[in-house]
Chain A
Amino acid sequence: EAGVTQFPSHSVIEKGQTVTLRCDPISGHDNLYWYRRVMGKEIKFLLHFVKESKQDESGMPNNRFLAERTGGTYSTLKVQPAELEDSGVYFCASSPRGPSTDTQYFGPGTRLTVL
Chain B
Amino acid sequence: KNEVEQSPQNLTAQEGEFITINCSYSVGISALHWLQQHPGGGIVSLFMLSSGKKKHGRLIATINIQEKHSSLHITASHPRDSAVYICAVPRSGTYKYIFGTGTRLKVLA
Contact = CB atoms under 8 A, between A and B. Distances in A.
Interface of A: 9, 31, 33, 35, 41-45, 48, 55-56, 59, 89, 91, 95, 98-109, 111
Contact of A101 (B31, B86, B101, B102): B31
A9 to B, nearest CB: 8
B99 A43 contact: yes
Interface of B: 2, 4, 29-31, 33, 35, 40-45, 48, 50, 86, 88, 90-102
B47 to A, nearest CB: 9
A100 B98 CA distance: 11
Contacts, number: 70
Given A33-B95, A91-B43, A109-B41, A41 B30 contact: no
Given A91-B43, A109-B42, A111-B41, A104 B99 contact: no
Which of B40, B42, B90, B99 has most chain A Cβ within 10 Å?
A: B42
Contacts of A41: 101
Contacts of A107: 42-43
Contacts of B86: 42-43
Nearest to A91: B43
A67 B98 CA distance: 21
B13 to A, nearest CB: 23
A89 B41 contact: yes
A106 B41 contact: no
B97 A42 contact: no
Contacts of A45: 96-98
Nearest to B94: A100
> Which 6 A/B pairs are nearest by Cβ-Cβ distance?
A108-B42, A100-B90, A106-B43, A43-B99, A42-B99, A42-B101
